[in-house]
Amino acid sequence: MSEVRETIHESDDHHVASFGSTMTTFAVLALLAVIQLAVGFNDFGPMKILASLTITGIQVFVLSVFFMDLRQADKLTWLCAGASVFWVLIMFTFTLTDFVTRHMAAY
Amino acid sequence: MAASTMTQEAAPVAHHFNNMLQQQSTVRLGMWLFLVTEVLFFGGAFCAYTGYRIWFPKEFEAGSAALNCGIASVNTFLLLTSSLTCTLAIRAAYKNNQFGIKLWLLATIVLGTVFLGLKGREYHLDYEEGLIPTSRTIVVQEKQDDGTYLPKERSQFAENVTKVLKQEGYKTEGVYMPRVQLFFVFYYVMTGLHVIHMIIGIGLLSWQLTLAQMGFFKHPERYVYIEVMSLYWHFVDMVWMFLLPLLYFAGPHTLEQAIGQFQMAIGLASGHHE
């Protein structure tokens, strides 16, 4: 047990983000929100949803890595975050495989 | 007083942990595991939305065009700023700055409450415009080719949405209104779930603010509780980042329209529906 204690939790290498770093992250997120609104208030046709979701993806990445501190997280936390994305992808894939192809069964 | 005594007596490291760092890692992991369940919970709603939007793109665009983008845009920045103040609360806790913890927790609570206030106003406006899914029907007098009028039974919801969309200058030809009603079911369920999460979050933040008043969050023992609370709050912000483009910007909107809608919502301009 003592070996586990020493190897996994031997030092506190967790550092809180500096004020400047926090404000930079916020500025990036605010800029992305402005771009999101600019896309929303214009007509890009079918590209609009792709552009919107791409911006959302970047926002979620910045928020989780910096504000939610994934960058300093251990492997188990990364596994949690990755697992949630993985299971959501499975849910979307199987559900949409049915929904998107259902009309094909009529022929 | 009893609670204060209890917090002073509570051991910083629970007996089943080896040390403080292991305890903190476990607290963080616990919240992340909870967030995994939350991702799947909201994922189900987003998955259903995606399926029906692929099926009925025109109707979902029409439904979105009837929403108030002005309030949603302002709320986006309120929630984003509350994520910043929540992060600053962690920093204050890490630096053992007791005043900072209270200040930034309070700022987060205020921003979240303003968000909810505006969201409540938006729901109220939707209610006033009759944008509530219902099976209720009304009888209208429809003009015939020979100039006479015949009573016809129409969907109350369809009449209301058509009226709002015409005011927005949106063409409703070929839009099947029962499917627009389906969009509004998604709109109320998804934003409603988000609102419930925000109410819970504000409740928990208020509880933490009360504990902060008692000097509970000392570094290094207990700062991590502020950190895991912020994880939840950031997640709520993350859900909104998806709701904004999928619900509000699925249809056409303009900046001028959004500014007008927001001014009308907060009483700076008269509403077109009044």
Helix residue ranges per DSSP H, chain B: 2-9, 20-55, 57-65, 69-94, 98-128, 156-167, 177-213, 223-243, 255-265
- What pLDDT is stored for residue A7 in this prediction? 42
* Nearest residue on chain A to B226, alpha-carbon basis: A68
Same domain, A47 and A18: yes
* Tokens standing for residue B43: 């994922």
pLDDT over 90 at B83, yes or no: yes
Chain-chain contact of A73 with B28 (C-beta, under 8 angstroms): yes
pLDDT over 70 at B160, yes or no: yes
- What pLDDT is stored for residue B203 in this prediction? 98
Residue A103 is assigned to a structural domain of this protein: yes
Q: Which of A34, A44, A67, A70 to mutate to test the interface with B (most CBs of B within 10 A)?
A: A67
Give, in degrees to the nearest 5, the angle at Cα B191 between B187 and B196: 145
β-partners of residue B154 are B138
Same domain, A49 and A85: no
> Mean pLDDT, to the nearest integer, of A17-42?
96
Chain-chain contact of A55 with B245 (C-beta, under 8 angstroms): yes
Same domain, A102 and A87: yes
Residue A29 is assigned to a structural domain of this protein: yes
Spell out the domain ranges in chain B. Answer: 23-265
- What pLDDT is stored for residue B22 in this prediction? 86
Residue A38 is assigned to a structural domain of this protein: yes
- What pLDDT is stored for residue A105 in this prediction? 66
Same domain, A21 and A64: yes
- What pLDDT is stored for residue B272 in this prediction? 53
> Mean pLDDT, to the nearest integer, of A8-19?
69
The CATH class that applies to domain B23-265 reads: mainly alpha
Q: Which of B210, B205, B214, B225 is nearest to B12 (CA)?
A: B225
On average, the pLDDT of chain B sits at 91
Same domain, A92 and A104: yes
> Mean pLDDT, to the nearest integer, of B209-216?
94
Cα separation, B143 vs B151, whole angstroms: 9
Chain-chain contact of B87 with A92 (C-beta, under 8 angstroms): no
Q: Which residues of B touch A63 (CB under 8 A)?
A: 83, 234, 237-238, 241
> Mean pLDDT, to the nearest integer, of B39-45?
97
Does A67 contact chain B (CB < 8 Å)?
A: yes
- What pLDDT is stored for residue B97 in this prediction? 93
**Binning pLDDT at 50, 70 and 90, where does residue B6 land?**
very low
Write the CB contacts of A60 (distance below 8 Å, at least 6 apart in sequence): B238, B241
Count: domains in chain A: 2
Does A92 contact chain B (CB < 8 Å)?
A: yes
- What pLDDT is stored for residue B142 in this prediction? 83
Cβ–Cβ under 8 Å, residues B245 and A36? yes
pLDDT in tens, A58-106: 999 999 999 999 998 888 999 999 999 999 999 999 999 988 888 776 5
**Which structural domain range is residue A21 located in?**
13-71
pLDDT over 50 at B215, yes or no: yes
Same domain, A89 and A39: no
Give me the interface pTM, i.e. the ipTM: 0.89
Residue A4 is assigned to a structural domain of this protein: no
* Nearest residue on chain A to B17, alpha-carbon basis: A5
On average, the pLDDT of chain A sits at 87
pLDDT over 70 at B106, yes or no: yes
User: What is the percent of chain A with per-residue pLDDT over 70, rounded to a whole number?
Assistant: 85
Does A12 contact chain B (CB < 8 Å)?
A: yes
Does A48 contact chain B (CB < 8 Å)?
A: yes
Same domain, A104 and A59: no
User: What is the percent of chain B with per-residue pLDDT over 90, rounded to a whole number?
Assistant: 73
**Terminal alpha carbon distance of chain B:** 53
Q: Which of B248, B194, B191 is nearest to B38 (CA)?
A: B194
- What pLDDT is stored for residue B146 in this prediction? 87
pLDDT over 50 at B202, yes or no: yes
User: What is the percent of chain B with per-residue pLDDT over 70, rounded to a whole number?
Assistant: 94
pLDDT over 90 at B11, yes or no: no
Q: Which of A35, A69, A80, A65 is nearest to A53 (CA)?
A: A35
Cα separation, B123 vs B52, whole angstroms: 23
Same domain, A18 and A65: yes
| pTM (two decimals) | 0.90
pLDDT over 70 at A9, yes or no: no
Three-state secondary-structure class, residue B171: coil
- What pLDDT is stored for residue B238 in this prediction? 97
Same domain, A17 and A67: yes
> Mean pLDDT, to the nearest integer, of A11-19?
76
- What pLDDT is stored for residue A107 in this prediction? 54
